[in-house]
Amino acid sequence: MIEKFGEPSDCVKLLTRKADQVLPKKLSPKQILVQHLAACVNPADINVAQGVYGVKPTLPTVIGNEGITRVLEVGPEVKDLKPGDLALGVSTLGYWQSYSVQNSETFYKVDNDLEIATAAQLKVNPCTAFRMIKDFVELKPGDVIIQNGANSAVGVYAIQFAKCWGLKSINVIRDRPNKSEIIDELKSFGADHVITEGELRNVEILSPILKSIGKPKLLLNCVSGKNASDCMRILDNGGSSVTYGFMSKQPLTIGAQSMFKDHQIKFFWMSRWYNEREPSKRGEITDMLNNIADMFKRGIIRPKSSTLIDFEERNLAFKGSNNTKYIFSISK
């Protein structure tokens, strides 16, 4: 839980409470009792703890934006879930705990055959990549996308979806000591080209790439700042820039060339997409989750490398990603 905002290593506290202190004696008609099996540690969770995320929870609160649960008990009017089902709530916060009571109408059944660590990552990153590629530009096989932060979890899924749908990808990463390791990893996921921020500004390196595959029609931007401006500079006429993050903590600066090239500047937040569809368009959410889960099961996509940790080891995740995704293994 957090009782005050601050750096996660200081403000996230591990508490133990008896069931009768936090759980009701009886479920209401549409409630479910769930056991939390695993939960991700995402950049958004860090920002929530720091108090700088787009939405601030009322304190004190359990945080954690993404995870997977198993249904233990259902209220008498629950129809779509039964004990034993894997399930997740797309508008649910508070995944960093062992048990909770939830509204069944905000939870979705997940394929029981999915590995727990994969199911825990279903809600945010693959869905973000899926929606951004599908919803903003009508792309056809052979078209090109460019993205920064390409070794992020969203970036890894964007590479795989692009490959699956016949698109080409240019993937921008920071220049770092383990650059060759990251390039090899992204190529293994299907990246066509992986370049550093410096190489993005190098005409001798960039020109042959654009000549061979064409200019990108879509930019996925999670970095902003100068990096995003450099990516936008090579967008095709009529191309779209979709911003879903500000990892550089710098503003999104739009150059004059975007006006002359009729660039479309757009933004995306996965939580808003979910909120706009609950409860009236639940079918869209179900279809997407089932589609992506099926792609995982068939080996069409695979998750970024992850590291399972206990709550007691949380500071490992708070220190930095180390090119891995940290996941709390809650119920062994």
**CATH number, position 259:** 3.40.50.720
Residues 142, 263, single domain; the answer is yes
Q: What percent of the chain has pLDDT over 90?
A: 85
Residues 163, 256, single domain; the answer is yes
Identify which of 120, 113, 106, 25 has the alpha carbon closest to the alpha carbon of residue 73: 25
Please give the model's pTM, rounded to 2 decimal places. Answer: 0.93
**What pLDDT does residue 255 have?**
86
Residues 143, 261, single domain; the answer is yes
Q: Which amino acid is at 186?
A: L
- Select from 236, 267, 298 the last residue of a domain: 267
Residues 312, 254, single domain; the answer is no
Q: What is the rounded CA–CA span in Å between residue 117 and residue 122?
A: 9
Stronger pLDDT, 27 or 332, i.e. the higher one: 27
Q: Stretch 103-131: mean pLDDT, rounded?
A: 96
Q: In the beta sheet, which residues pair with residue 118? A: none
Instruction: Examine the pLDDT at 68 and tell me if it is beyond 90.
Output: yes
Q: How remote is the C-alpha of 70 from its chain's centroid?
A: 21
Residues 182, 84, single domain; the answer is no
Determine, yes or no, domain membership for 114.
Answer: yes
Residues 22, 39, single domain; the answer is yes
pLDDT digits over 42-60, tens only? 989 999 999 998 889 999 9
Q: What is the domain extent for residue 191?
A: 137-267
Instruction: Examine the pLDDT at 84 and tell me if it is beyond 80.
Output: yes
pLDDT tier, 321 (very low <50, low <70, confident <90, very high otherwise): low
The residue annotated as part of the active site, out of 53, 108, 274, 326, is 53
53 a catalytic residue: yes
Residues 191, 142, single domain; the answer is yes
Residues 176, 243, single domain; the answer is yes
- Select from 247, 267, 287 the last residue of a domain: 267
Residues 160, 243, single domain; the answer is yes
Q: What is the rounded CA–CA span in Å between residue 62 and residue 48?
A: 11
Measured at the CA of 83, the angle between CA 78 and CA 87, to 5 degrees, comes to: 80
**What pLDDT does residue 20 have?**
85
Q: What is the total count of domains within the chain?
A: 2
The token pair at 238 is 């009529």
**What pLDDT does residue 332 have?**
66
**What pLDDT does residue 292 have?**
98
- Select from 267, 288, 304 the last residue of a domain: 267
Determine how many CB atoms are found less than 10 A away from the CB of residue 142. Answer: 10
Determine, yes or no, domain membership for 97.
Answer: yes
pLDDT tier, 262 (very low <50, low <70, confident <90, very high otherwise): very high
